[in-house]
A and B are shown apart, each in its own frame.
Chain A
């Protein structure tokens, strides 16, 4: 992730009181997925979120007052990359994945603002660990908790 000290917008649904992180129920129609090939598409249109300014403020507070915002997005996973199985007893999950690049198209706007932010299609990349990123995107099947055995 980039240096949050330079961050000026942080659009997300927030952290639930039980700790569930940035995760919300969505319509199944917003997702198309083929775990066999690793291809998937996730879409949202005009969705209400909060702009926390930066991730540190979102987690710890104490910064600028969060403001309501709306976003739209279209994320595509291309799949067709290497396949990998993982069993992690420390974190308690098992999964099988198909790697492949992912791209996004989005717009975002603070409700009280007059600037619409739009992603550029060119130049997107999925940062490697050497670049301080998470590595390859992937689509797959995962089991954890009571389903981890």
Chain B
């Protein structure tokens, strides 16, 4: 165990990706993934999010996402009607080299109908990783 690393409060933030057509692709832009993905057309992002000062704003944000807890819009897809789940989870992780880490994850899902970027009605399942 490398206690020095832990004492610095290192932080292993987890994100992830998807099953199916995305595995093995370089995800420099998820638009590529949608173009080759499992039957889902590109959705539009929610209009709200965090501004450059990390304040919540209903329009024109820097990033189109809100916190993953009750009281906030959990979906990141707009024109959406369906089931959602969101979570922030903290804990510890370990490396195969004996190192010790803290992690903080934001994991979500969306499944339902949505209007895609070409204004067509679609049905899809999404992971927020």
B-binding residues in A (CB < 8 A): 1-4, 6-31, 33, 35, 40, 42-50, 54-55, 59, 68, 71-73, 75, 77, 84, 86, 88, 90-93, 95, 97, 99, 102-104, 106, 108, 114-120, 123-127, 129, 133-147
Q: Is the CB of A136 within 8 A of B37?
A: no
Tell me which residues across on chain B come within 8 A of A127, comparing CB atoms: 88, 90, 104
Q: Is the CB of A133 within 8 A of B16?
A: no
Q: Which of B75-101 contact A (CB under 8 A)?
A: 75-97, 99, 101
Report the minimum CB–CB distance from B89 to chain A (whole Å). Answer: 5
Which of A4, A15, A114 has the most B CB atoms < 10 Å from its CB? A15
Tell me which residues across on chain A come within 8 A of B129, comparing CB atoms: 11-13, 22-24, 44, 47, 49, 71, 73
Is B26 among interface residues, defined by CB-CB distance under 8 A?
yes
How many contacts A-B (CB < 8 Å)?
363
CA distance A114 to B76 in the complex (A): 33
Interchain Cβ contacts under 8 Å between A and B, 28 examples: A2-B104, A7-B12, A8-B12, A9-B101, A10-B13, A13-B129, A15-B30, A19-B45, A20-B30, A24-B18, A24-B33, A24-B129, A25-B125, A31-B111, A47-B16, A49-B16, A50-B27, A59-B62, A77-B85, A88-B73, A102-B89, A104-B107, A117-B94, A119-B92, A124-B90, A135-B69, A138-B74, A143-B80
Tell me which residues across on chain B come within 8 A of A21, comparing CB atoms: 45, 49, 63-65, 76, 128
Tell me which residues across on chain B come within 8 A of A15, comparing CB atoms: 30, 63
Tell me which residues across on chain B come within 8 A of A139, comparing CB atoms: 83-85
CA distance A52 to B9 in the complex (A): 18
Tell me which residues across on chain A come within 8 A of B107, comparing CB atoms: 42, 73, 75, 102, 104
Q: Is the CB of A24 within 8 A of B44?
A: no
Q: Is the CB of B48 within 8 A of A24?
A: no
A40-B109, A42-B85, A102-B89 known; A13+B96 contact, CB < 8 A: no
Q: Which of chain A's residues has its CB closest to B103's CB?
A: A119
Tell me which residues across on chain A come within 8 A of B31, comparing CB atoms: 16-18
* Chain A, interface SS category: strand
CA distance A114 to B98 in the complex (A): 12
